Amino acid sequence: MTPTVDDAINAFAPALPLAVGYSGGADSTALLLACARKWPQQVSAIHIHHGLQDCADAFVRHCEAFCAQLNVPLVVQRVDARHASGQSPEDAARRARYSAFQALQQQGAVGTLPSIALAHHADDQVETLLLALSRGAGLPGLSAMPAAWERDAIQYHRPLLGVPGATIRAWLQAQGVDWLTDPSNAQLQFTRNRIRAQLLPVLDQAFPQFRQTFARSAAHAAQAQGLLEELAEQDLRATGIPPHIRRLQSLTPARQANALRYWLKTIWRTSPSAAQLQELLRQVGACTSRGHQIQIKVGAGFVRRNMDVLDWYNSDSA
Protein backbone atom coordinates (compact mmCIF):
# COMPACT_ATOMS: atom_id res chain seq x y z
CA MET A 1 0.00 0.00 0.00
CA THR A 2 1.30 3.46 -0.90
CA PRO A 3 1.96 5.49 2.28
CA THR A 4 0.20 8.80 2.81
CA VAL A 5 1.51 12.02 4.32
CA ASP A 6 -0.25 11.17 7.59
CA ASP A 7 1.28 7.67 7.61
CA ALA A 8 4.76 9.10 7.09
CA ILE A 9 4.48 11.77 9.79
CA ASN A 10 2.91 9.36 12.29
CA ALA A 11 5.96 7.12 11.86
CA PHE A 12 8.39 10.06 12.10
CA ALA A 13 10.07 10.42 15.51
CA PRO A 14 12.86 13.03 15.33
CA ALA A 15 14.66 14.66 18.24
CA LEU A 16 12.90 17.90 19.08
CA PRO A 17 12.88 20.80 18.45
CA LEU A 18 12.65 20.27 14.70
CA ALA A 19 13.39 22.64 11.83
CA VAL A 20 11.82 22.09 8.42
CA GLY A 21 13.50 23.16 5.21
CA TYR A 22 10.71 25.19 3.67
CA SER A 23 10.81 26.44 0.07
CA GLY A 24 7.09 27.21 -0.29
CA GLY A 25 6.61 24.38 -2.79
CA ALA A 26 4.04 21.63 -2.38
CA ASP A 27 6.34 19.08 -0.72
CA SER A 28 7.85 21.33 1.93
CA THR A 29 4.47 22.98 2.56
CA ALA A 30 2.93 19.59 3.33
CA LEU A 31 5.88 18.61 5.52
CA LEU A 32 5.79 21.87 7.49
CA LEU A 33 2.01 21.77 7.96
CA ALA A 34 1.99 18.12 9.11
CA CYS A 35 4.92 18.61 11.50
CA ALA A 36 3.52 21.83 12.96
CA ARG A 37 0.25 20.06 13.69
CA LYS A 38 1.96 17.08 15.32
CA TRP A 39 4.45 19.11 17.41
CA PRO A 40 2.96 22.54 18.20
CA GLN A 41 5.54 25.09 19.39
CA GLN A 42 8.35 22.61 18.66
CA VAL A 43 8.75 23.30 14.93
CA SER A 44 10.48 26.14 13.07
CA ALA A 45 11.06 26.73 9.37
CA ILE A 46 14.15 27.63 7.38
CA HIS A 47 13.81 29.24 3.96
CA ILE A 48 16.95 29.38 1.83
CA HIS A 49 16.94 32.42 -0.46
CA HIS A 50 19.16 31.33 -3.38
CA GLY A 51 18.84 34.65 -5.17
CA LEU A 52 18.81 32.93 -8.57
CA GLN A 53 15.29 33.89 -9.73
CA ASP A 54 13.39 37.16 -10.04
CA CYS A 55 10.55 35.66 -7.99
CA ALA A 56 12.78 34.80 -5.01
CA ASP A 57 11.61 37.77 -2.91
CA ALA A 58 7.96 36.93 -3.64
CA PHE A 59 8.66 33.38 -2.45
CA VAL A 60 9.95 34.80 0.85
CA ARG A 61 6.78 36.83 1.35
CA HIS A 62 4.61 33.77 0.70
CA CYS A 63 6.63 31.73 3.21
CA GLU A 64 6.41 34.47 5.82
CA ALA A 65 2.63 34.64 5.46
CA PHE A 66 2.15 30.87 5.72
CA CYS A 67 4.45 30.55 8.75
CA ALA A 68 2.60 33.41 10.47
CA GLN A 69 -0.66 31.55 9.82
CA LEU A 70 0.79 28.41 11.42
CA ASN A 71 2.45 30.36 14.25
CA VAL A 72 5.77 28.81 13.22
CA PRO A 73 9.02 30.83 13.51
CA LEU A 74 10.72 31.37 10.14
CA VAL A 75 14.38 32.07 9.47
CA VAL A 76 15.31 33.31 5.97
CA GLN A 77 18.92 32.65 5.03
CA ARG A 78 20.37 34.25 1.92
CA VAL A 79 23.10 32.30 0.11
CA ASP A 80 25.25 32.62 -2.97
CA ALA A 81 24.21 29.57 -4.99
CA ARG A 82 25.89 30.49 -8.27
CA HIS A 83 27.67 27.47 -9.72
CA ALA A 84 31.34 27.37 -10.61
CA SER A 85 32.68 26.28 -13.97
CA GLY A 86 32.16 22.54 -14.37
CA GLN A 87 29.70 22.38 -11.46
CA SER A 88 26.00 21.68 -11.95
CA PRO A 89 23.55 24.36 -10.72
CA GLU A 90 21.77 21.70 -8.66
CA ASP A 91 25.00 20.69 -6.89
CA ALA A 92 25.89 24.33 -6.20
CA ALA A 93 22.46 24.99 -4.69
CA ARG A 94 22.60 21.84 -2.58
CA ARG A 95 26.03 22.72 -1.18
CA ALA A 96 24.88 26.26 -0.43
CA ARG A 97 21.85 24.92 1.46
CA TYR A 98 23.86 22.60 3.70
CA SER A 99 26.40 25.35 4.38
CA ALA A 100 23.50 27.62 5.36
CA PHE A 101 22.02 25.00 7.71
CA GLN A 102 25.40 24.56 9.39
CA ALA A 103 25.89 28.32 9.71
CA LEU A 104 22.45 28.74 11.28
CA GLN A 105 23.18 26.06 13.83
CA GLN A 106 26.53 27.62 14.74
CA GLN A 107 24.94 31.06 15.05
CA GLY A 108 22.12 29.74 17.21
CA ALA A 109 19.70 31.46 14.84
CA VAL A 110 17.11 28.73 15.25
CA GLY A 111 17.86 27.82 18.83
CA THR A 112 19.06 24.37 19.77
CA LEU A 113 18.76 22.54 16.48
CA PRO A 114 19.27 18.77 16.66
CA SER A 115 17.05 17.87 13.70
CA ILE A 116 16.19 19.19 10.25
CA ALA A 117 13.49 17.62 8.07
CA LEU A 118 13.67 17.88 4.30
CA ALA A 119 10.75 17.26 1.96
CA HIS A 120 12.18 14.89 -0.65
CA HIS A 121 9.61 12.30 -1.67
CA ALA A 122 9.32 9.03 -3.61
CA ASP A 123 9.49 10.68 -7.05
CA ASP A 124 12.66 12.55 -6.02
CA GLN A 125 14.17 9.22 -4.97
CA VAL A 126 13.41 7.68 -8.37
CA GLU A 127 14.83 10.73 -10.17
CA THR A 128 18.02 10.48 -8.11
CA LEU A 129 18.42 6.80 -8.92
CA LEU A 130 17.81 7.36 -12.65
CA LEU A 131 20.29 10.24 -12.67
CA ALA A 132 22.87 7.98 -11.06
CA LEU A 133 22.25 5.26 -13.64
CA SER A 134 22.55 7.77 -16.49
CA ARG A 135 25.98 8.81 -15.17
CA GLY A 136 27.29 5.28 -14.67
CA ALA A 137 27.43 5.73 -10.91
CA GLY A 138 28.65 3.11 -8.47
CA LEU A 139 26.95 1.91 -5.31
CA PRO A 140 27.01 5.29 -3.53
CA GLY A 141 25.02 6.85 -6.37
CA LEU A 142 22.71 3.86 -6.78
CA SER A 143 21.93 4.03 -3.06
CA ALA A 144 20.08 7.28 -3.89
CA MET A 145 19.02 9.36 -0.88
CA PRO A 146 19.05 8.09 2.71
CA ALA A 147 16.00 8.59 4.88
CA ALA A 148 18.17 9.83 7.76
CA TRP A 149 21.81 10.80 8.26
CA GLU A 150 24.06 13.06 10.31
CA ARG A 151 26.16 15.92 9.00
CA ASP A 152 28.01 18.60 10.97
CA ALA A 153 26.31 17.50 14.22
CA ILE A 154 22.82 17.91 12.71
CA GLN A 155 20.44 14.99 12.27
CA TYR A 156 18.75 15.20 8.87
CA HIS A 157 15.53 13.38 8.01
CA ARG A 158 13.44 12.76 4.90
CA PRO A 159 10.15 11.51 6.36
CA LEU A 160 8.23 11.76 3.05
CA LEU A 161 10.71 9.66 1.07
CA GLY A 162 8.18 6.87 0.54
CA VAL A 163 5.27 9.15 -0.43
CA PRO A 164 4.64 9.93 -4.15
CA GLY A 165 4.52 13.57 -5.18
CA ALA A 166 0.94 13.25 -6.46
CA THR A 167 -0.17 11.90 -3.09
CA ILE A 168 1.40 14.89 -1.35
CA ARG A 169 -0.35 17.38 -3.63
CA ALA A 170 -3.68 15.61 -3.22
CA TRP A 171 -3.26 15.79 0.57
CA LEU A 172 -2.59 19.53 0.39
CA GLN A 173 -5.62 20.10 -1.80
CA ALA A 174 -7.74 18.25 0.74
CA GLN A 175 -6.47 20.66 3.41
CA GLY A 176 -7.33 23.65 1.22
CA VAL A 177 -3.71 24.83 1.26
CA ASP A 178 -1.98 26.57 -1.65
CA TRP A 179 1.68 26.28 -2.57
CA LEU A 180 4.25 27.87 -4.83
CA THR A 181 5.41 26.44 -8.16
CA ASP A 182 9.05 26.95 -8.98
CA PRO A 183 9.23 28.11 -12.63
CA SER A 184 12.61 26.40 -13.07
CA ASN A 185 10.85 23.01 -12.75
CA ALA A 186 9.52 23.49 -16.29
CA GLN A 187 12.97 24.07 -17.80
CA LEU A 188 13.74 20.85 -19.66
CA GLN A 189 17.42 21.65 -20.18
CA PHE A 190 17.87 20.18 -16.69
CA THR A 191 18.12 16.39 -16.73
CA ARG A 192 16.12 15.94 -13.54
CA ASN A 193 13.24 17.95 -15.01
CA ARG A 194 13.27 15.82 -18.18
CA ILE A 195 13.11 12.68 -16.06
CA ARG A 196 10.17 14.10 -14.09
CA ALA A 197 8.23 15.34 -17.12
CA GLN A 198 9.02 12.64 -19.67
CA LEU A 199 10.17 9.40 -18.00
CA LEU A 200 8.07 9.13 -14.85
CA PRO A 201 4.71 9.22 -16.68
CA VAL A 202 5.89 6.39 -18.95
CA LEU A 203 7.10 4.36 -15.98
CA ASP A 204 3.76 4.93 -14.26
CA GLN A 205 1.99 3.33 -17.21
CA ALA A 206 4.44 0.47 -17.79
CA PHE A 207 5.35 -0.36 -14.15
CA PRO A 208 2.80 1.15 -11.72
CA GLN A 209 4.78 -0.07 -8.68
CA PHE A 210 8.10 1.32 -9.88
CA ARG A 211 8.52 3.71 -6.93
CA GLN A 212 8.47 0.85 -4.45
CA THR A 213 10.64 -1.49 -6.53
CA PHE A 214 13.19 1.22 -7.31
CA ALA A 215 13.31 2.08 -3.60
CA ARG A 216 14.07 -1.57 -2.79
CA SER A 217 16.91 -1.59 -5.32
CA ALA A 218 18.32 1.60 -3.79
CA ALA A 219 18.07 0.03 -0.32
CA HIS A 220 19.97 -3.07 -1.52
CA ALA A 221 22.67 -0.82 -2.98
CA ALA A 222 22.88 1.15 0.27
CA GLN A 223 23.29 -2.05 2.26
CA ALA A 224 26.08 -3.26 -0.03
CA GLN A 225 27.74 0.16 0.20
CA GLY A 226 27.59 -0.05 3.98
CA LEU A 227 29.49 -3.34 3.88
CA LEU A 228 32.13 -1.81 1.59
CA GLU A 229 32.55 1.08 4.02
CA GLU A 230 33.03 -1.36 6.90
CA LEU A 231 35.73 -3.12 4.86
CA ALA A 232 37.34 0.23 4.01
CA GLU A 233 37.50 1.15 7.71
CA GLN A 234 39.24 -2.16 8.45
CA ASP A 235 41.72 -1.70 5.62
CA LEU A 236 42.49 1.89 6.62
CA ARG A 237 43.19 0.75 10.17
CA ALA A 238 45.78 -1.58 8.63
CA THR A 239 47.28 0.96 6.21
CA GLY A 240 47.05 3.92 8.55
CA ILE A 241 45.50 7.35 7.96
CA PRO A 242 46.89 8.85 5.82
CA PRO A 243 47.44 5.58 3.92
CA HIS A 244 50.95 4.13 3.99
CA ILE A 245 51.84 3.35 0.36
CA ARG A 246 53.54 -0.02 0.93
CA ARG A 247 50.73 -1.25 3.15
CA LEU A 248 48.21 -0.04 0.59
CA GLN A 249 50.03 -2.02 -2.11
CA SER A 250 49.49 -5.23 -0.10
CA LEU A 251 45.74 -4.98 -0.74
CA THR A 252 44.03 -6.17 -3.90
CA PRO A 253 43.33 -3.41 -6.45
CA ALA A 254 39.61 -3.51 -5.64
CA ARG A 255 40.29 -3.04 -1.92
CA GLN A 256 42.83 -0.31 -2.65
CA ALA A 257 40.19 1.55 -4.65
CA ASN A 258 37.58 1.06 -1.94
CA ALA A 259 39.92 2.25 0.83
CA LEU A 260 41.16 5.28 -1.12
CA ARG A 261 37.65 6.35 -2.10
CA TYR A 262 36.52 6.10 1.53
CA TRP A 263 39.61 7.97 2.81
CA LEU A 264 39.06 10.84 0.39
CA LYS A 265 35.33 11.00 1.17
CA THR A 266 35.47 10.83 4.96
CA ILE A 267 38.66 12.80 5.65
CA TRP A 268 38.67 15.31 2.78
CA ARG A 269 35.03 15.32 1.60
CA THR A 270 36.01 14.84 -1.99
CA SER A 271 35.36 12.05 -4.49
CA PRO A 272 37.55 10.95 -7.39
CA SER A 273 36.08 10.29 -10.80
CA ALA A 274 36.47 6.77 -12.17
CA ALA A 275 39.34 7.95 -14.40
CA GLN A 276 41.09 9.75 -11.52
CA LEU A 277 40.82 6.74 -9.25
CA GLN A 278 42.13 4.42 -11.97
CA GLU A 279 45.13 6.68 -12.54
CA LEU A 280 45.77 6.95 -8.79
CA LEU A 281 45.78 3.14 -8.52
CA ARG A 282 48.22 2.95 -11.43
CA GLN A 283 50.57 5.44 -9.80
CA VAL A 284 50.36 3.69 -6.42
CA GLY A 285 51.17 0.37 -8.08
CA ALA A 286 54.16 1.87 -9.87
CA CYS A 287 55.56 3.49 -6.70
CA THR A 288 58.45 1.12 -5.91
CA SER A 289 61.37 3.49 -5.33
CA ARG A 290 62.07 6.20 -2.77
CA GLY A 291 62.22 8.92 -5.39
CA HIS A 292 58.99 7.98 -7.21
CA GLN A 293 56.49 10.82 -7.13
CA ILE A 294 52.69 10.60 -7.04
CA GLN A 295 50.53 13.57 -7.92
CA ILE A 296 47.07 13.47 -9.46
CA LYS A 297 44.16 15.90 -9.38
CA VAL A 298 41.18 14.69 -7.34
CA GLY A 299 38.21 16.98 -6.76
CA ALA A 300 39.37 20.49 -5.94
CA GLY A 301 42.84 19.35 -4.90
CA PHE A 302 45.62 16.83 -5.50
CA VAL A 303 46.66 13.45 -4.09
CA ARG A 304 50.42 13.36 -3.76
CA ARG A 305 53.14 11.30 -2.15
CA ASN A 306 54.45 12.67 1.13
CA MET A 307 57.41 10.49 2.06
CA ASP A 308 55.90 7.04 2.76
CA VAL A 309 52.23 8.03 2.77
CA LEU A 310 49.60 9.58 0.52
CA ASP A 311 48.35 13.08 1.17
CA TRP A 312 45.62 15.29 -0.28
CA TYR A 313 45.88 19.03 -0.44
CA ASN A 314 44.49 22.15 -2.04
CA SER A 315 44.97 25.85 -1.41
CA ASP A 316 42.78 25.65 1.72
CA SER A 317 44.40 22.57 3.25
CA ALA A 318 48.00 23.37 2.29
Residues 99 and 172 placed together within one structural domain of the fold: yes
pLDDT at 99: 78
Residues 27 and 154 placed together within one structural domain of the fold: yes
pLDDT at 104: 78
Residues 139 and 65 placed together within one structural domain of the fold: yes
* Residues of the chain with confidence (pLDDT) below 50: none
Residues 6+ apart with CB under 8 A from 301: 268, 270, 312, 313, 314, 317
Residues 204 and 265 placed together within one structural domain of the fold: no
Residue 112 is assigned to a structural domain of this protein = yes
How far is it, in rounded angstroms, from Cα 119 to Cα 34?
Answer: 11
Residue 230 is assigned to a structural domain of this protein = no
Residue 58 is assigned to a structural domain of this protein = yes
pLDDT at 189: 82
Report CA dihedral (279, 270, 51, 97) to the nearest 10 degrees.
150
- Work out how many domains the chain is built from and give that number: 2
Strands laid side by side in the 295-298 sheet:
295-298, 301-306, 309-313
**Residue 285 backbone zone (phi > 0: left; psi -120 to 50: alpha; other: beta):** alpha
Residues 97 and 202 placed together within one structural domain of the fold: yes
The answer to whether the CB of 133 falls within 8 A of the CB of 121 is no
Residue 52 is assigned to a structural domain of this protein = yes
Of 194, 212, 230, which marks where a domain is finished? 212
pLDDT at 180: 93
Residue 234 is assigned to a structural domain of this protein = no
Domain limits for position 140 = 5-212
pLDDT at 252: 97
> In this predicted model, what pLDDT tens digit does every residue of 94-143 receive, in sequence order?
777 777 787 777 676 555 567 999 999 999 999 999 999 998 999 999 99
pLDDT at 306: 93
Residues 6+ apart with CB under 8 A from 248: 239, 256, 259, 260, 284, 310
Residues 165 and 24 placed together within one structural domain of the fold: yes
pLDDT at 187: 80
